[in-house]
Amino acid sequence: MRTNVLLLSPPVLICFCWALTFGVAGCALFLPDVFDLLPVFMAREDLSTDGFSGMGSVWIALCLLVYMTVDFGVKTTLRPNPQMQIPLDVNRAAQLCFRTNLLLLGVTAIWIVTTAQSVGGLKALAALVYIDSLGARDLLLQNKLFTGMRLFYAALPATGAIAAILLALNATRTLSVESKRLCQITCAINLIALLLLPIVMSQRLLLLQFLLSAYIGICMVRGRCVGLAYLPLGLCLFLTTWILREAVTNPSLDRSAFDIGLQKLAFYFVNDLWNSYRPLKSEISHTFGMFSLRGLLFFSFTDGYFATLLSDRLMAIEDVRGGGDFSIFTAPYVDFGPVIGVLCVALMAAAFRCAYWAGLHSPLGALVYGQIGASLLFSTHGTYFTHHNFFFSLIILVAVCHLSRRTQHSTRYGVSRHV
């Protein structure tokens, strides 16, 4: 039985994310004997259960109601198209994707090699990772080749998703053997890189972004949820990197890496929920878009200016933030207050529904929605769709698809679609 792609619509993804967050965080908080390391992790970030309040629940419920209402309203105005148009030269897209990916990996590799040379070679860097992973991470950050260089590393999920979706489009038999091989190599190399690099560099969400965006994009171009049997494998890959990272960052804890990793994962759910609730409990100085508009500020080269201008407010907001970031519903409130915050939620609902509709009608739309849908699945952890990494990924997606457009005879992918 085929599962309808409606299961990947924005409201479903957001509700799943919040339900999972409440479920895991609730289990962690109400089963202290099982999650006995949770108080240790919470103490590191100065978190307490006092941060949760009824007002936080009211705000989340209100935002969910507004989101669902606007999403339904926009959905009723969009007309479904029964076929996906593919105005792409898929073979050229495969070649461009492969070359772009080589550039991203090349810059990342040069960064790692030059940093390793400063400590005596790759073996010495690997030893430093084992002894002091945080020190190794700081060393890498101090040796960046140029400003914004980390964007090249952060864009690997985007090129990997392009390759995966091109392979999914090969049902039309238009992808040559060579292009198919290039896409397979791109997916494999990116998977290996995103499995290993986060152990040193953190940013494990890049691996999750790659796995989720590729899967969602494939389902969008196929018009149904596919490969459900492979989802546990993707989960195991993510947990492997997660556990290895926690094993090297918590050497003082006399526990197995598996136990530390799972308890730290549970802590992150508690931390995310705390970040969603705590700002609603007291008066805060709003930050005027520093969280909701950070990607736009970065690419307009005004982030430093506004960070200096609002430095007092940003320092004060740290009192109501644990580790990580604010959630999809709390970030607009922190930035703009309740009224404009609700309007921001409504705007997001409309934009994401349109992105979902576009994802059913073109490969570029599927790629873009894949990135958005993946970010919605961890949107209680932060608003990745406002980050400069996300915008840089979109630039790469649009550039590859634009340079690969067919001039004549657009191909149609004949699968029924329903919005």
Instruction: Give the model confidence (pLDDT) of 6-27 as tens digits.
Output: 899 999 999 999 999 999 999 9
Q: What is the mean pLDDT of residues 295-316?
A: 92
pLDDT in the model for residue 290: 94
Q: Shortest CA distance to 104 belongs to which of 214, 234, 1, 206?
A: 206
Enclosing domain of residue 370: 3-413
User: What is the Cα–Cα distance from 29 to 48, expressed in whole angstroms?
Assistant: 11
Q: What is the mean pLDDT of residues 140-144?
A: 78
In a domain, 158, yes or no: yes
Q: Which residues neighbour 337 within 8 Å (Cβ) at sequence distance 6 or greater?
A: 286
Percentage with pLDDT > 90 across the chain: 57
Question: 3-state SS of the chain: helix, strand, coil percent to 5?
Answer: 75, 5, 25
Residue whose tokens read 């960064």: 111
In a domain, 419, yes or no: no
Whether 282 has a pLDDT exceeding 70, the answer reads yes
Are 65 and 329 a contacting pair, CB within 8 Å?
A: no
- Mean per-residue pLDDT of the chain: 87
pLDDT in the model for residue 415: 41
pLDDT in tens, 177-205: 999 999 999 999 999 999 888 777 767 78
pLDDT in tens, 34-84: 999 999 999 988 898 888 989 999 999 999 999 999 999 999 998 876 566
Are 306 and 290 a contacting pair, CB within 8 Å?
A: yes
pLDDT in the model for residue 414: 41
User: What is the Cα–Cα distance from 70 to 380, expressed in whole angstroms?
Assistant: 20
- When divided into structural domains, the chain yields a total of 1
In a domain, 98, yes or no: yes
pLDDT in the model for residue 383: 94
In a domain, 82, yes or no: yes
In a domain, 326, yes or no: yes
Q: What is the mean pLDDT of residues 251-256?
A: 71
- In angstroms, what CA-CA distances link 163 with 43, 137, 238, 395? 43, 29, 20, 16
pLDDT in the model for residue 244: 77
In a domain, 222, yes or no: yes
pLDDT in the model for residue 112: 85
In a domain, 418, yes or no: no
